[in-house]
């Protein structure tokens, strides 16, 4: 009786182990099928192509799997994990399009890769280098004749008085203007002509804003032709002989009766 129960218990244990093993095998097979890409390679005339190399790439462009189609043009490739992949085929000078697949828990559908002849195209792009724009890395403040006339004292202002109207400029002793905590490091240009350093310190005192038509004050990011001047570039455009085209005239005369008369007029 004990021997019969023993045989029955052993049979039940073996059945349980076999059943659990079969379940594990089924789950593993399902995972392998979900991570397996199947498909075929063909020509444009729908003929199957054998010995074509199939590449599977991930989203970073790395090749994660390769396969070779058989004589029937069929291939099988396994990917390491679920995700998004691209599949393509190549044979000699023929290449297929890229097919994007989303690998998940379900088995992916078979893909069909169609080969087409490729041709290498060499492009030569010739373009002149654009000049470096110093204004892209600098700040430019413009002062016109009308801006100077609107200041207190108007045209009687001196150079350092006008420079004090721009940001980052402070007044020092001996009529020195500190721009960005730097002084005596200015480059002066008059009608496009740079003023040498030997006369800038003296010449800057005699360039009265009264003769300015406009001035562009550039701070930082200078061009190479400015030199080592890093504080500011003062580009002055002087007035011409015909501008401004208006003015006023006043005359005083005495009459024979001892009375004085005043007449005024405007010319343009």
Please indicate, yes or no, whether residues 149 and 101 belong to a single structural domain of this protein: no
Q: Which domain holds residue 113?
A: 37-119
Q: What CA–CA distance (Å, rounded) separates 235 from 187?
A: 8
pTM: 0.39
In a domain, 256, yes or no: no
Q: What is the pLDDT of residues 176-232, one digit of tens each?
A: 777 777 766 777 888 878 777 666 554 455 578 888 888 888 877 566 666 666 677
Q: What CA–CA distance (Å, rounded) separates 95 from 118?
A: 7
Please indicate, yes or no, whether residues 144 and 54 belong to a single structural domain of this protein: no
Please indicate, yes or no, whether residues 94 and 138 belong to a single structural domain of this protein: no
In a domain, 248, yes or no: no
Give the mean pLDDT of 149-178. Answer: 80
Q: What is the pLDDT of residues 105-115, one digit of tens each?
A: 788 889 999 99
192: left (phi over 0), alpha (psi -120 to 50) or beta: left
Please indicate, yes or no, whether residues 112 and 143 belong to a single structural domain of this protein: no
Q: What CA–CA distance (Å, rounded) separates 267 from 165?
A: 33
Please indicate, yes or no, whether residues 70 and 145 belong to a single structural domain of this protein: no
Please indicate, yes or no, whether residues 170 and 207 belong to a single structural domain of this protein: yes
Please indicate, yes or no, whether residues 110 and 140 belong to a single structural domain of this protein: no
24: left (phi over 0), alpha (psi -120 to 50) or beta: alpha
In a domain, 105, yes or no: yes
Please indicate, yes or no, whether residues 138 and 87 belong to a single structural domain of this protein: no
CATH code of residue 147: 2.170.130.10
In a domain, 70, yes or no: yes
- Distinct helix (H) and strand (E) counts, the chain: 4, 17
Please indicate, yes or no, whether residues 114 and 195 belong to a single structural domain of this protein: no
Number of domains in the chain: 2
Please indicate, yes or no, whether residues 115 and 201 belong to a single structural domain of this protein: no
In a domain, 246, yes or no: no
In a domain, 98, yes or no: yes
- Give 195's DSSP letter: P
pLDDT at 155 over 50: yes
């Amino acid at each position: 009786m004990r021997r019969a129960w023993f045989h029955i218990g052993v049979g039940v244990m073996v059945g349980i182990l076999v059943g659990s093993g079969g379940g594990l095998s089924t789950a593993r097979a399902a995972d392998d099928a979900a991570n397996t890409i199947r498909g075929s390679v063909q020509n444009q005339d729908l003929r199957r192509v054998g010995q074509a190399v199939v590449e599977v790439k991930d989203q970073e462009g790395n090749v994660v799997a390769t396969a070779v189609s058989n004589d029937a043009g069929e291939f099988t490739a396994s990917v390491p994990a679920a995700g998004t992949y691209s599949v393509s085929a190549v044979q000699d000078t023929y290449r297929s399009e890229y097919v994007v697949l989303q690998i998940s828990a379900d088995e992916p559908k078979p893909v069909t890769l169609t080969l087409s002849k490729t041709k290498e195209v060499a492009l030569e792009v010739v373009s002149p280098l654009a000049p470096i724009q110093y204004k892209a890395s600098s700040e430019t403040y413009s002062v016109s004749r009308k801006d100077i006339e609107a200041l207190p004292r108007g045209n009687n202002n001196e150079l350092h008085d006008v420079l004090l109207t721009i940001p980052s400029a402070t007044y020092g002793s001996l009529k020195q203007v500190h721009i960005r905590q730097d002084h005596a490091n200015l480059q002066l240009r008059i009608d496009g002509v740079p003023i040498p350093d030997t006369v800038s310190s003296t010449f800057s005192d005699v360039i009265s804003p009264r003769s300015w038509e406009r001035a562009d004050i550039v701070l930082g990011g200078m061009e190479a032709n400015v030199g080592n001047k890093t504080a500011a570039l003062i580009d002055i455009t002087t007035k011409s002989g015909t501008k401004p085209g208006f003015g006023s005239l006043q005359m005083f005369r005495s009459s024979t009766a001892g009375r004085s008369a005043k007449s005024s007029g405007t010319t343009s």
